[in-house]
Amino acid sequence: MIYTSTSGAQFAKCILRLRYNISTDDYDPWNTNSSYNANANTGQTSPVTQNPTVDVGDMQALKLAINTNQFGRTFQDRSHTFFIRSRPTSVTGLSSSSKIVNLNVRGKRGNIVETYPAVEYDFVPNRLHVTEDDFIHIQWTGSNTHNNGGGGGDGQAGDAGQGTDGTDRSNFAVMGWLNESYPIALDKETTIFSNLAHFYQLDGTEMTSPMNAALLLATSGYVSDTTSTTTDLSTTLDNAPPSLAGGLLLRLSGASSLTAYGKGVVNYMSTRNNSFSNRSQKGTIIVSPSPQASGS
């Protein structure tokens, strides 16, 4: 279904359904239904039985290890709702041929043992190459209701990490070097924001203060104004929005000349997901000069 926002942008609401099916040829899967269930009253036998004892020839019978719970069924059935939005039309420098790169978050809460076969939180891509003409759409999804408690409610059995159990959070805080553990204070290193970065809302409106945009990213959308007197933000972002769904378009115009932390390099981190038992959630954006500027 197509919707139109108050700003006039169109977007489609989509649903993706993923099913993990197990099939078998031990019986006819297309013509076997509940009428074939075992029924002692009618003498009906099931085409497949639990741990059956079978005749293998002129000797005693042998037992097979067959779990009928795992035979011919839908093992997992999950649905995901998402939106596909039309390309912004009023962003300065954004043409129909401009590249918009998605910067997202993958993985789940927990350490490497608890998340297997998935992965711990990570930015995707965690090493992003762009030019000064490119735009970056920053977004992520989180949750307040995942079930990673002991006993493995969702297939896992742990919830290592910061913040309230059962919650996922991410944020984007610029840092100096990747081998450090602290982000840069916004009021200490303003050049990287005020002189280099241009932030746009998805409706095309440029944020008047890049510092506000940086604050929005650092707080997962909870605070977006440096003049705010808000003091109730949880230090582990528990009361911040779990998802940055709207996101921002970031254009690092002029960043290729940045030399404070490496030419054309912007490093960033999530302050929440840095438990000693977890992998650091960090990323790097490498910005090259505009192809037009370089004459190529």
- Do residues 105 and 2 share a domain? no
- Do residues 242 and 165 share a domain? yes
Give the position of tokens 């940055």.
244
| SS3 call for 258 | coil
- Do residues 78 and 113 share a domain? no
Residues in the chain: 296
- Do residues 264 and 155 share a domain? yes
Domain with 16 in it: 1-23+72-86
Number of domains in the chain: 2
- Do residues 162 and 202 share a domain? yes
- Final residue before a domain boundary, out of 57, 86, 115: 86
pTM of the model: 0.77
Cβ burial, residue 201 (10 Å; 0-12/13-18/19+): middle
User: What's the token pair of residue 205?
Assistant: 């409106």
- Do residues 126 and 80 share a domain? no
Helix segments in 43-169, DSSP class H = 112-115
The whole-number pLDDT of residue 157 equals 66
The whole-number pLDDT of residue 235 equals 92
- Do residues 78 and 122 share a domain? no
- Do residues 108 and 246 share a domain? yes
Residue at 53 is within a domain:
no
- Do residues 180 and 137 share a domain? yes
Sheet holding 2-4, edge to edge: 2-4, 10-22, 73-85
Q: What is the pLDDT along the chain (296 residues), one digit of tens a residue?
A: 788 877 677 788 899 988 877 777 878 878 888 888 888 898 888 888 889 888 887 777 899 888 887 777 776 777 888 888 888 878 888 888 889 999 999 988 888 888 877 888 999 999 999 988 899 999 998 888 877 665 554 455 677 888 888 889 999 998 888 888 889 887 776 666 666 677 888 777 888 788 888 888 999 999 888 888 888 999 999 999 999 877 778 888 766 766 666 678 888 999 998 877 788 899 999 888 887 655 54
- Do residues 14 and 98 share a domain? no
- Do residues 263 and 288 share a domain? yes
Q: Residues 170, 247: contact at Cβ < 8 Å?
A: no
Residue at 131 is within a domain:
yes
The backbone torsions φ and ψ at residue 191, rounded to the nearest 5 degrees and listed phi first, read -60, -40
